[in-house]
Copies of this chain bind each other. A is one copy, B any other.
């Protein structure tokens, strides 16, 4: 896990970016995604299921099936994905772990932390899949060519 996101969130975002880059209307299998992202197929399948349930993607069963984006990639922001995967209250709570920390009863670093948190939320809330997808092509290439 990075400092901010769980592995699940990371893989969810990577998968969505991959789906954004595939031809519209064409279903991509979990195996294909797992292969291109170099992550476990079974795990990514679970995550794709969750993303289906939360409406980010659609699934097609049976032969020729797979997954495709369920919305316009311009309307899927990183923060939406993170909240769907990690829960709506990921961004709550005191940094120092003190109970009942709030603007009224702040801990010693409360205001600075709130600023950092707002910046983080602003960052995740202003980047959508459409903006990020083409910048990610090079990453997918590097993984495929085992440059990493």
**Residues of A participating in the B interface, judged by any CB pair closer than 8 Å:** 2-5, 7, 10-11, 13-14, 17, 38, 78, 90-91, 93-101, 105, 107-109, 112-113, 116-117, 119-120, 123, 127, 131-133, 135-136, 138-139, 142-143, 147-148
Report the copy number of this chain in the oligomer: 2
Chain B residue numbers with a CB within 8 Å of A132 are 108-109
Since A4-B95, A13-B96, A100-B148 are in contact, a sample of 9 more A-B pairs with Cβ atoms closer than 8 Å, ordered by chain A residue number, is A2-B93, A3-B117, A10-B97, A14-B96, A78-B109, A108-B127, A108-B132, A116-B116, A116-B119
Chain B residue numbers with a CB within 8 Å of A133 are 108
B135 and A96 contacting across the interface, CB-CB below 8 Å: no
CB within 8 A of A96: which of B10, B96, B105, B143?
Answer: B10
Chain B residue numbers with a CB within 8 Å of A107 are 135-136, 139
Q: Report if A94-B148 is in contact (Cβ < 8 Å); known contacts: A120-B116, A142-B105.
A: no
A116 and B105 contacting across the interface, CB-CB below 8 Å: no
A14 and B98 contacting across the interface, CB-CB below 8 Å: yes
A123's closest neighbor in chain B, by CB? B112
CA distance A132 to B119 in the complex (A): 23
Chain B residue numbers with a CB within 8 Å of A13 are 96-97
Q: Report if A108-B95 is in contact (Cβ < 8 Å); known contacts: A100-B142, A119-B119, A142-B100.
A: no
